[in-house]
Structure 1
Amino acid sequence: MGLSWQQGPLSTGAIGHFLTPESLPERLLYAERLRRRMRVKFNDTFIADSENVILLHEPGRYPVAYFPSEDIDAQALVPSGKVTHHKDLGDTAWYAVHAGDRTTERAAWEFTALPEHAVDLQGRIAFAWRAMDAFYEEDERILGHAADPYHRIDIRNTSRRLEVRLDDHVIARSEHPVVLFESGFAPRWYVPRADIDETRLDPVEGQTFCPYKGLCDYYDIGEARRAAWSYRNAYQEADRINNLVSFEADKVEVYLDGERLHPEPGQNVISHGVDRGLDVDEVKPH
């Protein structure tokens, strides 16, 4: 999550509310200087390199990085003549991106008729994330979307008793689960595999990708489809849940200290999917 995605405060599915005497606009956009060097690679060439990136948080979207035109290789942008209209920011001119022997249509855009209150984006270009080869902060590739400074993960050990059941069968029972708190989401409870009857877990094909935790594998439990998941090679920042298993409270019975858990706001996550051209071997060392 962040300011505007999933259940963030500026998203359309926000789980909290602003304590103001008057109603806020239905849509709030937020722009902020990223304060990190960011680069864009296309066809093995860095076509943008800037320490002056503006990050735009827009309801229902991941944050998008906007580069000043002077920090972009002028030969990389080819006007397409295509203009669309953004409901908040006005006319949007589109570019093909070109480098070497490769060109991708509608791979970048610029707002050309910004309202006065949005001039921070004047003269700035954004690149379609999946149309580019890679985005970097300094020399490290950033996966999934631009890093959101308002996204946080906290992982805590606990001695609370967690039990998972399905059709009177005990799937898991643990007195030392791990709880993961992630910005805007309901707590997620992870169980060591030693406390799970793994004969009940049937691995399924297909993975999702979290830019903060890594690739996620899923399991069926009986007739309950994709009722459990695990980050078998979690990123170092989330290493404490590496290879642990979490369970969907709306698909199996999950009890915490004897009280059954039920889905709550923030429980359902809109998965990102895997980046264009991103494979498992590339994600693991990240």
Structure 2
Amino acid sequence: MTVAPRWEPSERWVRGRRGDLTIVDSRRAILVWDSPTPVPRYAFPEADVRTDLLRAAGERFDLVIGDGTGPDAARYIALPWSAAEHWYEEDEEIFVHPRDPHKRVDAIPSSRHVTVEIGGVTVADTRAPVLVFETGLPTRYYIPRADVRLELFEPADLRTGCPYKGTAGYMSLREPGDAPPNIVWSYAEPLPAVGPIRGLLAFYNEAVDLTVDGERLQRPVTHFSRSLGH
């Protein structure tokens, strides 16, 4: 059964640029959630999109039809993220996908006692973590580098982007045993909203043993679990 997309208007000024060309410039964007995609994408009134440039570049785009009610009902174009090299909400560049207005990310310094074990070996022990509470994900515990046994890890080639936090770099265990690669990550230059995590290290709860204030946490099952082999 086909499920109709869920959408809502956005009051943000959204622009997409490729080189020196503006592909889209709109103050009338809508956010669209296409099942089963868990993250939104932007759709724009056709008049706000340079469709001639998209066709010239061989880009694919989809049409989203409004419900036909009210004077503002119109045909909207839902662009793939690759349609532009750089996307902006107001004057701030955004990455990976539009930020979901129903998702919240809070980075809060704490004095909880957090330890991390991998294969029975304690690799981190801190009383100065930063806890990141992100809608739909388990709490992540970011740990100062001074409280991590860095000699056990080596830099990895992996880099990932997050629209809420920025670009992350990864490390893997030098002697991984049964542990998956890229088990720890860090944001060297996080977005301002999560500034307290700058340079701190976080471990996948799904693949390590976390103890918080003396209580061993159960390993969660998330969409990361499969790629981690857990």
TM range (shorter): 0.7 to 0.9
Pairwise CA distance, 1:170:
2.2
TM-score, normalised relative to structure 1: 0.68
Q: Summarize deviations over 1:184-232 as a string: whole Å, max 9, x none.
A: 1110011111111110122111111111111111121231222211112
Is 1:107 the equivalent of 2:83?
no
For 2:163 and 2:48, the matched residues in 1 are separated by 26
Amino acid across the alignment from 1:169: V
Instruction: Find out whether 1:166 has 2:118 as its counterpart.
Output: yes
Match of 1:60 in 2: 36
Distance 1:165 1:171 in 2: 6
1:253/1:44 CA distance change after superposition, 3 Å:
same
Counterpart of 1:129, as a letter, is W
Aligned to 1:252: 208
The answer (yes or no) to whether the contact 1:186–1:267 under 8 Å persists in 2 is no
Deviation at 1:48, TM superposition (A): 2.4
Cα drift, residue 47 of structure 1: 3.2
Q: Does 1:29 align with 2:16?
A: no
Task: Give 1:140 deviation, angstroms.
Answer: 2.8
Mapping 1:138-177, distance limit 5 Å: 138-177=90-129
Change (3 A) 1:63 1:167: closer
> Which position in structure 2 is the counterpart of 1:135?
87
Runs of 4+ residues deviating >6 angstroms: 114-117
**Distance in 1 of aligned mates of 2:192 and 2:81:** 24
Shift of the 245–106 alpha-carbon distance from structure 1 to 2, 3 Å rule, reads: same
The CA deviation at 1:245 is 0.8
CA distance in 2, matches of 1:203, 1:97: 39
Report the number of matched residues.
221
Map 1:162-201 to 2 at 5 A: 162-201=114-153
Three-state SS of the structure 2 residue aligned to 1:205 is strand
Identity of aligned residues (%): 30
The structural deviation recorded for 1:120 is 7.9
Matched-pair contact (CA < 8 Å) for 1:38–1:138: yes
- C-alpha deviation, 1:269, in angstroms: 7.7
Partner of 1:240: helix, strand, or coil?
Answer: helix
Which residue identity is paired with 1:256? V
The aligned residue for residue 166 of structure 2 is: 214
Secondary structure, in 3 states, of the residue corresponding to 1:237?
Answer: helix
Q: Distance in 2 between matches of 1:46 and 1:186?
A: 38
CA distance, structure 1, for counterparts of residue 121 and residue 147 of structure 2:
14
Q: 1:269 to 1:110 in 2, by over 3 A?
A: farther
Q: Is the 8 A contact 1:151 1:183 kept in 2?
A: yes
